[in-house]
Structure formats: structure tokens, C-alpha cells
Chains A and B, each alone.
Chain A
Amino acid sequence: MTIRESKRLWLACGVGLAWFLLLLWPLLGIKPDGLEFTATFKVFGYVAVAAVFIMFFYQVKEAGYLDAVGTPAKQATNALSRAYEKAPTWLLLGIVLAAAVVYPLVTQRYAHDVAISVLIYICLGLGLNIVVGLAGLLDLGYIAFYGVGAYTYAILSINYGLSFWLCLPIAAVIAAVAGCIIGYPTLRMRGDYLAIVTLGFGEIVRLILNNWMSLTNGPNGILSIPRPELFGYEFRSLSSMYYVILALAVVTILAVYRLNYSRIGRAWEAIREDETAAELMGVNTFLLKLLAYAMGATFAGFAGAFFAARMKFVGPESFTFLESAMVLAMVILGGMGSIPGVILGVLALVALPELFRGFELYRMLVFGGAMTLMMLVRPAGIWPAKRVGRRSEEAD
């Protein structure tokens, strides 16, 4: 990096920091009883130190001083990924599955709780992955299907006393029907318009859940939903519930894997890459896009029914737009269309923040910032899918 480039970089950094101060001070410094400076400069100080440190690090890296550390690290990652390629898949999967089965035996209640939410989000993320990652339809109202599944189990079990195992497929079917209802009018749209319409549908579903007092009990939600039962054994403890969702997650992973490598999966990918071309090649885009919505919604329905049983309570505030954005962020962060990617994305966004409980207030702030940053530096995700191209209209 030349001195001139470096100067420009530092100038940009300085302007950015000054701008940040200008935006920050009015928010923190103007109080009804007078002007204040300490709080602003404390926050500004932290940010400025972090920014200068990052800039310094970046320059050192660009100058090549870090190659002594970076090259061996890169070699190690390469060796690791080669070992991963060579190792038989069944062995790796066996290890992961065994670890997942043993997990509740060696951990505490709090860890069970985190693991259960991780697994719920894996089901949701993989379901959304079908719609967004495989078929390329941006869905911002996905959480509505989760809500439909949860309420289906809640209402059927409270009013009619149906068992969890019977409600599970019913919830999935009703969610899939909801997926078709929402999917049908959006089939003619693409890109941004599709996103905004699905967002609208998601909000409509939430408003209905919130206001249909006689069916959903409105904002109060539905209480004391029973836990599942199997041959007289009630899944009362958290660890037994963990196994239920583990089974559901494994089924979801297998199903999504099989779908991905089926004719349907390939057709979805063709639609994602170039819808017009796919149609010309004889892909029935209408039916397949509808199917993508229905399949995605099915898994959300499963996850929703489990969620209702696990919390013993459902309320409309669990199904807000922010939840949709969270699930979408998991899919994007991990890598659209890639199953291990989505699982990594879920771990990054559900399990990691648990480690930083002390900073809980800042969680969503960091989350939003990370989402933007991720798009800027690595738009394909942590573990990108192997078969991804660029949409024809975006190719340069």
C-alpha cells in the first residue's frame, strides 16, 4: 500500500469518526435540563479506539507483516478442509449425531434450553432455505407459518384434546395450505416486490392472531398447552423434549438434503438461477414455486407445533417481523442453499449470543450491524453452497 492510499484511508476514517460524533452527540448529549458531554465522549472514545485499531491492523495486514502468522494458519485450514473432504461422510455425521445424543446427559438445564432453541431454529432455517436458498424467492413473512403451526397445535390440543403426534402432521398440512394461499398471489412477482408482499402477509397473519379473540385469545395467548405423550410416557423434562426436537431436526435435515438432490431441487435451483430460462427448458415454474412455499411452510409448521408444546404457551408476540428477519439472517449468514451453512448460521446467531449474556441489550444492535457487514464482506455466507451461480440479470 502506497503512502498516498494510506493517507486516503486514514482521511476517510477521520471523516467517518467525525460524522459519527455529529450523529451521536444530539442523541446522548441534549437533555431537557441542559447539554451534556461525558456520556457521548465515553461511547465515542470506545468506537474511535476500536476503529483506529482495526485500521492499524488492516494496514499491517496489507503491508504483509502478518504473512508470518497468516500463511501457516491458511495452510492449517487447507489441511483441515482436505481432511474433511477425505473422511467418509457417514463417520463425520455419526460423530455429530452421537455428540447430539449424548449432549443432554452431560450438560445442565440452561444448556438444554439453548440447544432446544438452536434445533428449533435449524428446522426453521432449513425450511426457509428451501424457499430462499433453493428456489430464490425472498420471503420476509416466513415466521407466519411457524405461528400457524404453533396455534394449530395449541387450539387442537386445548379444545379437542388431540395428541401432539396427531397434531404434528395436521399443523404441517395447515401451514402448507397457508403457504400455498400466500404463495399463490405472489407467483407473478419477483425480487423486491415479492419480499414486500410476503412481509405484508406475515403482518396480516400476526394481526389476525392478535385480534381474533374467540379463536386465539388475542394478545393474551393460549396457556397450559400439554406436553407430548408417547405410550403413556410424558415428555415432561427438558432433556426429553430435546430428543423430540432433535428427531424433528434430523428428519428436516434428511428431507431437505433429499429434496436438494432430487429433480425438484434441481428445478428449484434452475428457477433461482434464471426463471425465464428454466421455464423455457420445460420446468413448470408455477407449480414448483408453489411447492417451494408449501414445503418451506411444512417444516415451519412442525417447528411451530413443537414450540407450542415446549413453551406450553403461544402468544402473537412470538411471531413478529423481527423473528422472520432473524431466521432469514441465519440462512444468509450461513450460506443460502447450503445445509451445513444454515446450521452454522443458526449456531452463530443463537448459541454465540448466549455466551455474551452480559451484553444482551446490545444483541440486536450487533445483529443488525453484522447483517450489513456480512453483506459487504462475504455475501455468499460462511459456508456457501457448491452449486450457486449468478442470476442472469445481475451478471456484469
Chain B
Amino acid sequence: MDFFLQQLINGITLGGVYALIALGYTMVYGIIQLINFAHGEFFAAGGYMGVILISYLSSQGVNPYACLAISLVLSMGYCALLAMAVEQLAYKPLRQASRLAALLSALGMSIFLQNGLMLTQGVYDRPYPTEITSGGFEIGAISISYMQILIVALTAFLLVALNILVFKTRIGRAMRATAQDKVMSALVGINSNRIIALTFAVGAGLAAAAGIMVGLYYGSVNYTMGFVPGIKAFAAAVLGGIGNITGALVGGLIIGMVEIFAAGYISGEYKDVFAFIILIGVLYFKPTGIMGENVDDTRV
């Protein structure tokens, strides 16, 4: 039972991270129907920006928590700028082109960014400073680290902020309108290019936050770290019903749980396989996901 609860806590932590990445996929897919392959690279870039900024700031004698907060904000901003640049260069000119062209352009961008990270940061793992992450407490036989609490709290905070942005502000209303019908929303005076760029920026910002948290949780970052979590987060987005924000959260938690429980009870080596099997199973039996609406045939 203790083991079960411990795994449950670990699963929630990991699931929260997947949910944050999945939100970017789901928002971008919802608005321009494109699988943004480069999204995993925004996540990796966020992780790297985090380690770069935290090491610089802490060497300047800044308080570790202030360090973390500043780095978080700056890396989210950095990834937002990166995502907007990628969108302008690689996706915007292809709005009218075939879906295949846009998908391959995204794939090319993913490889480009991954190697850009490798060339500037090196091929080896870059360790995160550990003074922030250490520590924790125990309830009975279950141990919870401060890091896990931080991850869950931050995920919850970002989700609430995103919900307010999407459902309570003018920008959010414009986003939802654009996702529903680009032409009509343009007719009522919404600048859809700006809204799309903004969606990319918000999604990448969330991915950057997830990147820092994963870096802190596992203690290091690597330039290839974006690929597998990126795919799992996409699986989470599909599982929850792509284009649906609540769905991304639910999907992320499910994928995180499945991975942790599969690693704990079945086999650690095959844990990644289960995420893919879920993805394939969902797409096969219910392509609209748990919370998705019915999507017409040409879309899927």
C-alpha cells in the first residue's frame, strides 16, 4: 500500500509535467491543426535556459529561491520568443500549403533546434544545481520531496493562469474564436496571425516551465531530452481530446500515472512502450479522446 501511494505521488508529479507540455500541443493543434514537432524542443530549450540562468544567478550570490523564480520567468519568455520566431519562419508561410508540408517543416525545425542546442551547449548532460531541490519530509513510509510539491503547485498555478487567460480575457476569447473558425473571426476583426503567434508563445512558455521542473526533478538536462517527453505529451493531448485544455490535464495525469505504475509494477525498461500503446489504442478506438468533441473526417 505504501508503495502504491508513493507511486501515486510520483505519478502526479510526472503527470503534471506532461500536462504542461501537452497544453502547448493541444492549443497549437486546436488553432491551426498542426502537430508542432518542435514543441519538445521548446521544452528542452526551457530546461537549458533554466540551468544557464540558475547557475549564473547563483554565482552572483542571488538567493536560491529568487534565482529559481527569475529563471523561470526569463526562460518562459525566452521560449515564447523562440516559438514565435519558429512560427514566423517555418509555419506561417505554409498556412495555405498541404498538411504534409507543414508537418515536415515542423520535423525539420525540431531537428534544427535540437542540433542548435547541441552545438551551443555540448553533447553531455548539464547538471542542475542541487541546493534548491534537496530536502523533503516523510509521512509514514512515504517520502515527498519539496521539489515534488513545487512541481505540483507550479503546475496548478500555471493551469489556473492559463484558464483565466483563455476563458476570462479578450485575448482568450479571440483565441477560442480563431480555433473555431479562422475566416469568420477574421471578419469580425480578429488578427488571426497575431493570435496564432500568441498561442505558440503561451504553449512554449508552459513547455519551458515544464523543462525547468524536469531538469530540477532529474538533476540534469540533455539536448535530446525533448523528444520522448514530447511524444508522451502529445499522447496525453490526444488521450484527453486534442484541442481541449482540461483534456490535456487529464491526459497528462493518466500518462504520468501509467508510466510510473508500469515502471513500478511491470517493468522499468518497457515503461515508454506503455505510453505509445495508450496512444495507439486511443487513436484506434476513440480518436476524439476522452473529452474531445467529434471531429469531422477530413481533420483526422
> Contact residues of A with B, CB < 8 Å?
19-20, 22-24, 26-28, 30-35, 138, 185, 188-193, 195-197, 199-201, 203-204, 207-208, 210-211, 321-322, 325, 328-329, 332, 361-362, 364-365, 367-376, 379, 390-391, 393-394, 396
Q: A196-B238, A204-B273, A372-B112 are in contact. Are A22 and B81 (CB under 8 A)?
A: yes
CB pair A189 B103 closer than 8 Å: no
Q: Would you list the 9 A-B pairs with minimal beta carbon distance, nearest first?
A: A371-B108, A368-B111, A368-B112, A372-B108, A200-B276, A365-B115, A32-B55, A375-B105, A211-B269
Contacts of B78 in A (CB 8 A): 23, 26
**A223 vs B284: C-alpha distance in the bound complex, in angstroms?**
38
Chain A to chain B contacts (Cβ below 8 Å), 17 pairs: A19-B81, A22-B81, A24-B120, A26-B78, A27-B120, A189-B300, A192-B35, A197-B279, A199-B231, A204-B276, A211-B270, A321-B227, A328-B107, A368-B112, A375-B97, A375-B105, A376-B94
The answer to whether B93 has its CB under 8 Å from any CB of chain A is yes
CB pair A367 B273 closer than 8 Å: no
For A379, give its contact among B33, B89, B97 (CB under 8 Å): B97
Contacts of B96 in A (CB 8 A): 396
The answer to whether B132 has its CB under 8 Å from any CB of chain A is no
The answer to whether B186 has its CB under 8 Å from any CB of chain A is no
CB pair B108 A26 closer than 8 Å: no
Q: How far, in Å, is A55 (CB) from chain B's closest CB? A: 15
Contacts of A365 in B (CB 8 A): 111-112, 115-116, 119
CB pair A195 B111 closer than 8 Å: no
> Contact residues of B with A, CB < 8 Å?
33-35, 48-49, 52-53, 55-56, 59, 78, 81-82, 85, 89-90, 93-94, 96-105, 107-117, 119-121, 227-228, 231, 234-235, 238, 269-270, 272-273, 276-277, 279-280, 283-284, 287, 298, 300
Contacts of B298 in A (CB 8 A): 393
Q: How far, in Å, is A188 (CB) from chain B's closest CB? A: 7
CB pair B114 A368 closer than 8 Å: yes
Q: How far, in Å, is A27 (CB) from chain B's closest CB? A: 4
Contacts of A367 in B (CB 8 A): 108, 111
Beyond A192-B99, A193-B300, A368-B112, 17 additional pairs, beta carbon < 8 A: A22-B81, A23-B81, A27-B117, A33-B59, A34-B56, A35-B56, A191-B99, A196-B234, A196-B279, A200-B276, A201-B276, A210-B269, A362-B119, A375-B102, A375-B108, A379-B97, A393-B298
Contacts of A138 in B (CB 8 A): 100, 103
**A332 vs B101: C-alpha distance in the bound complex, in angstroms?**
9
For A394, give its contact among B34, B98, B227, B276 (CB under 8 Å): B98
**A211 vs B235: C-alpha distance in the bound complex, in angstroms?**
22
For B115, give its contact among A200, A208, A368, A394 (CB under 8 Å): A368
Contacts of B81 in A (CB 8 A): 19, 22-23
Q: A23-B85, A322-B111, A368-B109 are in contact. Are A376 and B48 (CB under 8 A)?
A: no
Q: How far, in Å, is B284 (CB) from chain A's closest CB? A: 5
CB pair B90 A372 closer than 8 Å: yes
**A283 vs B116: C-alpha distance in the bound complex, in angstroms?**
46
Contacts of B277 in A (CB 8 A): 204
**A332 vs B287: C-alpha distance in the bound complex, in angstroms?**
28
CB pair A195 B109 closer than 8 Å: no
Q: How far, in Å, is B191 (CB) from chain A's closest CB? A: 17
Q: Specify the chain A residue showing the minimal Cβ separation from B45.
A: A27
Q: How far, in Å, is B90 (CB) from chain A's closest CB? A: 5
CB pair B115 A30 closer than 8 Å: no
Q: How far, in Å, is A66 (CB) from chain B's closest CB? A: 23
Contacts of A376 in B (CB 8 A): 90, 93-94, 105
Contacts of A30 in B (CB 8 A): 52-53, 56
**A326 vs B300: C-alpha distance in the bound complex, in angstroms?**
25
**A363 vs B151: C-alpha distance in the bound complex, in angstroms?**
37
**A22 vs B48: C-alpha distance in the bound complex, in angstroms?**
16
Q: Which of B33, B78, B235, B276 has the most CB of A within 10 A?
A: B276
**A210 vs B49: C-alpha distance in the bound complex, in angstroms?**
32
Contacts of A369 in B (CB 8 A): 108, 112
CB pair B105 A207 closer than 8 Å: no
Contacts of A35 in B (CB 8 A): 56
Contacts of A361 in B (CB 8 A): 119
Q: How far, in Å, is A204 (CB) from chain B's closest CB? A: 5
Q: How far, in Å, is A50 (CB) from chain B's closest CB? A: 15
For B56, give its contact among A28, A31, A190 (CB under 8 Å): A31
**A191 vs B299: C-alpha distance in the bound complex, in angstroms?**
8
**A328 vs B100: C-alpha distance in the bound complex, in angstroms?**
12
**A195 vs B101: C-alpha distance in the bound complex, in angstroms?**
13
CB pair B287 A189 closer than 8 Å: yes
Q: How far, in Å, is A329 (CB) from chain B's closest CB? A: 8
Contacts of A210 in B (CB 8 A): 269
CB pair A191 B300 closer than 8 Å: yes
